[in-house]
Amino acid sequence: MNEILEAAEQLFAVQGYYSTTIRDISQKIGVAQGMLYYYFKSKEDVLETLLDKHVNVLLFEASTIQTTVQAPSEKIASLLSMVLQKAMYKNGLLLNMIYDVQNLQVKQKLFLRIEEGLSPKLTAIIEDGIKQKQFSVSYIPTAIDYILTILEFLSLALYQRTSPRILTSRIRMAEKLIESTLSSKDKSIHIYTNANR
């Protein structure tokens, strides 16, 4: 199954998702189309499985960040930076597939999975920040909703290939909004992407 996903990802990157067919994928790995249908119901199923694989990696890395010996504000910044870096995988291939209008249902399912996976990690980091007196948050779920909304806003800016100057401005604004949401010190959150380094 991994060979199928790797072939599909390569073809989606080169030909685009809509131009790639199940036949193209089967030809790339040298098997009959029927074999692909044994593992996947449709090309959309291949896409969902491929995106799910990337979400698993993202959530594993988020767990690693959560358990590092960093200040809570650094953990928040590292987690958000990592998610944005993952979003830019293969020059935005994943974002292109997610934000395509015809993949709206896939996008909603994917974002829900990311939200459900990141929320407990963000909760633990915020609780740690409260214990260490770095954050002051009255209702953690609302703070997480704000952070995830900001993250989606930044992901959309990456998808739209916003100019580096405007993207950097949006990231600085996002940092201030997150600092305000967490009642953390000014300039304690620094989000990085390849576009704003």
Digit-coded pLDDT (tens) for 94-120 = 676 676 656 677 778 888 898 999 999
Model's pTM, two decimal places?
0.83
Please give the Cα distance from 181 to 69 (Å, whole number): 23
Nearest to 187 by CA among 177, 195, 176: 176
User: Is 92 in contact with 167 (CB distance < 8 Å)?
Assistant: no
Say which DSSP state 37 is in: H
Positive or negative CA dihedral for 58, 105, 37, 30?
A: negative
137-187 pLDDT, tens digit per residue, is 999 999 999 999 999 898 888 878 888 899 899 999 999 999 999 999 999
Q: For the chain, percent helix, then strand, then coil, each to nearest 5? A: 80, 0, 20
- Residue 88: pLDDT band with limits 50, 70, 90: confident
Nearest to 178 by CA among 94, 36, 74, 24: 74
51-72 pLDDT, tens digit per residue, is 888 889 889 999 999 998 889 9
